[in-house]
Chain A
Amino acid sequence: MSKLSQLYQQVILDHSRKPRNFGELKPCTHSCEGYNPLCGDQITVYLNLDENNIVEEIKFDGIGCTISQASASMMTQILKGKTKEEAEKIFQEFQQMLVSDLDINNQQNSLGKLTIFSGVKEYPSRVKCATLAWHTMNSALQSKNKVSTEI
């Protein structure tokens, strides 16, 4: 598979064309607006955590490129039903896969389908597209209501 088709795999194109869990979630227990000032992408992530801190419901809306929309869409799928701690752990691993040295093939991880984004690592200018939704989700969990990729 070429570097480029590794980036734009069918699953990613599909999620970006038909993002899952897209839309507003109100009321919700946690939400945050994320912004990438370099490309103008904007996303809001909404979460409902139950009394046991389990993600009961998660949605997102906003505008962005193929990578950022697909990443947000797949994030909502994987996080539903996870605990807050689990969500934070997956966020850490997702980030490590793209910016540091998590070897997805040889190191244990809970990324599952999300490893499809590993090809983004080859495109430094696109890493923030893939991580925007995750940073936003993480900030929502920390009860912040705004986050930017450039801070």
Chain B
Amino acid sequence: MQIPMPLKNKLAKALDINSIRLDFPILSQKVNDLPLVYLDNAATTQKPIKVINRITEYLSFQNSTVRRGAYSLSEKSTALFNEARQKVAKFINAKQNSEIVFTKGCTEAINLIANSYGGSVFKPNDEIIITAMEHHANIVPWQLICEKTQAKLKIAPINELGELNLIELEKLINPKTRFLSLCHISNVLGTINPLKKIIDLAHKHKIPVLIDGSQAAPHELIDVQDLDCDFYAFSGHKVYATTGIGVLYGKLKHLEQMPPYQAGGDMIEKVSFEKTTYAAPPSKFEAGTPPIMEVIALGEALDYITNLGLENIKAYEHSLLKYAENQLAKLVPEVTIIGQATEKASLISFVIDSIHPHDIGTILDQEFGVAVRVGHHCAQPLMNILKVPATARASFAFYNTKEEIDILIKGLKRVIEIFKY
């Protein structure tokens, strides 16, 4: 099946979705005797056979520790580990490999910055800005560090379309502002934030910026040098690799200044009971034996999506988004789409009049094999702003098809039929 690309992007090449689907073993299984329609990609993505095989190969023939074994197996493992770091650096166009710190996920990456950078820089009455569309992972670490340092957390508001209000954001900035942390793409609204503009604005006031890229890494071409962000974080399992691995990019000048986050083996230069000196970044932030298998699998996953081409992925997913939006529009007034930003990634949050998302989820799963996320998406403050207790969310990956969206729509019609009164 060849999918025609939107004219807007002439560079994008059509992806062969049928053959891509064969790369993902999980997609050919049935749930509740129905073919699985997996539309919860913003929560986690499925794994291509290449990644699965890479893990099997590593565990079967290459497993050993890194950085310390004076034997061939460990040297091989260390080389593979370093090679994966290089792949990550290339994937986001970091200037050097040492700017890539491995964490256990995007959440830990944000906690690392809040604790290490924030903990050493923030002073009482300093101000930290986040936005109204953040995931709990980009709210709570800042609340904790603000409590510890007595800094204050400020929230940049969004407009009725679900876009960041840049005028209000600028008004929040003042000489006490020390840090800005925001998402690249909202996990609830799908809004793609105009990062370059925002980062430029922050830098004019000498404010460092962290980008929570967990929703962007699988969909957007990321260039940290072009963005000029100070930090960028994302999770492995959302880019077709496994859980247990995350990436923190940091400009070397910051990583060098920052104190360690956790202590242990691997992060030291020299230890005595009187004094310990720390290793250079990234090792300084990677105490303990790292998740070697996960790192190597991440490298393999990034190879896989790089081969498909992020531009091609984006163009195809955009066509899925537009198709889904058009189909959902036919279910108005019952269905309301939450988040109508002009620049939007391939996810749709919606609510159906008087029907709770939990009930939507159960019917879609049981009668249609469709997996969607229901709930508050770890963004309760945003739910309060939107005045909904919860939403249902369908999020698409390049292996999804228009036929699957048709099944979703059919399912929603059935939901309305069952519960509408």
What is the interface of chain A, defined by CB distance below 8 A to chain B? Answer: 3-4, 7-8, 13, 17, 37-42, 63-67, 123, 126, 129
Contacts and interface: CB of A to CB of B under 8 A. Distances in A.
B375 A39 contact: yes
B239 interface: no
Given A4-B363, A40-B376, A66 B389 contact: no
A8 B358 contact: no
Contacts of A7: 362
B380 interface: yes
A7 B361 CA distance: 13
Given A38-B375, A39-B389, A66-B356, 10 more contacts: A3-B366, A4-B362, A7-B362, A13-B419, A39-B358, A40-B380, A41-B358, A65-B358, A67-B358, A123-B362
7 contacts: A4-B367, A39-B357, A41-B358, A63-B356, A66-B356, A66-B358, A66-B359
B374 interface: yes
A126 B389 CA distance: 17
Nearest to B375: A39
B383 interface: yes
A61 B421 CA distance: 20
Interface in B241-276: none
A4 B356 CA distance: 16
Contact of B418 (A8, A41, A63, A126): A8
B390 interface: yes
Contacts of A39: 356-358, 374-376, 389-390
A142 B103 CA distance: 44
Chain B interface mostly: helix
Chain A interface mostly: mixed
Nearest to A63: B389
B363 A126 contact: no
A40 B375 contact: yes
A61 to B, nearest CB: 13
Contacts of A38: 375
A67 B421 CA distance: 16
Interface in B381-421: 383, 389-390, 418-419, 421
A65 B375 contact: no
Contact of A40 (B362, B363, B390, B419): B390
Contact of B356 (A3, A8, A65): A65
Given A66-B356, A66-B419, A42 B362 contact: no
B275 to A, nearest CB: 44
